[in-house]
Structure 1
Amino acid sequence: MNFLAYYEIIFQCVLILLAFYYVFKREYKVVKSIALIFVFSFLPAVSNALFHINIDTVSVLIYFAILFMAMYLGSALKFYDKYKWWDRIVHFLSGAGFVGFGIAIASLNSGISNWGVTFFGATFSITLHVIWEVLEYISDCLTHGDAQRWQKIHATNNHVSEKAIQPAGLVDTMNDFICCIAGTVSAIIIWLIVL
């Protein structure tokens, strides 16, 4: 077994322990978030087993950090509302991490140059973020939620500067895109140096 396999097992065991803790406390919404993280934690292994997509260790570690930071700390424990920088860090890391997923997919075709593989990784990462923001928008429209901070009255105004002249939802979405692009560009620079 390699380092990543041990890490995945430890990560999933921690999730199981957290789930038992929150079941004992009868906080079932948190258990639901932990269960989703647990299911999504199998994505790298399943993509390798079924489709032979071998994602690099660093990208998988970032992916696990994103799952934990976004779904458990961010949503379940309300870190998105407590810390205005939390959402930006999650989007930066996901921009960087999903480059590795795109590179792994593009690497399946041996006829693509290193530049082409890297370019695909960047566009894959940014495209995932566009899709995510669209899904947030659709979710807000259907459920009258506030994932994009579009409501004028919200429990927190952490995502929007008081001096902003644009609506809160636009500011939140643009901050998400900018952080994603910054993370993607950072990862691409590192990939080009490593290649």
Structure 2
Amino acid sequence: MKKTIIVLSILFSSFMLVSFVIEIKNGDINSWTKGGGRVMMSALPLALLFLQRTPFRVAHILGYYALLVCTFILGAIFHFYDTYKWWDVTLHVVGSMYVAWLGLAIYRYKVLRPSGIEISRWIIFLFVLGIAALGSAIWECIEFIGDMTVTSVMQRSGNKDTMTDLIAGLIGGVIIGILALFRNKPLEGKRI
């Protein structure tokens, strides 16, 4: 797993660094913060290497980079956000599903293993939904701060865009929550 994280982080960070340099050469004055953020986001999984044990598997890391490709490369660099109106909402649903999936991994690692007791599936549903909603709210805060400081295109239509994105995030959380509710019986611990 460590080799996978290192290779993906180096490849993606290098690509983001090259695109960052190209944007600066083309005279994009906002590229310092946008490009720097992209490079930092692509190197974020390297921070996992400092943890001795991590709840995330290779599939989680691959999912993370797939989201980065859809957001940074397809969405921003190849202008999918401008070309396809549904792209933003779809990424909010899928991104929220991803965050909820990470929430399940954390739940398994931090709650089930230490406690070893049976926990209601409805608690699991609420936990997953809460993690997805929190992720959506944090992302909307990032978009707002980005629009106030760097660019003005992240929240294109203001409140309508924000509320649409938050609803899309809740839908993604509900989808994974329902899957966790009915499909993942091993999420429940053992009776004592």
TM-score (structure 2 length as normaliser)? 0.69
Unaligned residue ranges in structure 2 (runs of 5+): 187-192
**2:92 alignment counterpart:** 91
Of structures 1 and 2, the one with the larger relative CO (CA 8 A, separation 6+) is 2
Answer yes or no: is 1:182 the counterpart of 2:171.
Answer: yes
Give the superposed CA RMSD. Answer: 3.4
How far did 1:122 drift?
Answer: 2.3
Equivalent residue in structure 2 for 1:124, among 131, 143, 150? 131
* Conservation of the 8 A alpha-carbon contact between 1:80 and 1:87: yes
Seen in structure 2, the aligned counterparts of structure 1 residues 48 and 145 have a Cα distance that, compared at 3 Å, is: same
- C-alpha deviation, 1:183, in angstroms: 1.6
- In structure 2, distance between residues paired with 1:49 and 1:85: 38
1:1-195 matched pairs, under 5 angstroms: 5-6=3-4, 9-10=7-8, 12-13=10-11, 16=14, 19-20=17-18, 23=21, 26-27=25-26, 36-47=37-48, 49-50=50-51, 52-106=53-107, 107-109=109-111, 110-111=114-115, 113=119, 115=121, 116-142=123-149, 145-150=152-157, 169-192=158-181, 193-194=183-184, 195=186
Change (3 A) 1:174 1:134: same
Distance 2:53 2:79 in 1: 36
Aligned to 1:166: none
Q: State TM-score, norm by structure 1.
A: 0.68
Q: Which runs of 4+ in 1 moved over 6 A?
A: none
Range moving further from structure 2, 113-122 or 19-28: 19-28
Q: 1:65 to 1:27 in 2, by over 3 A?
A: farther
Of all paired residues, the percent bearing the same amino acid is 25
Aligned length: 175
Bigger helix fraction: 2
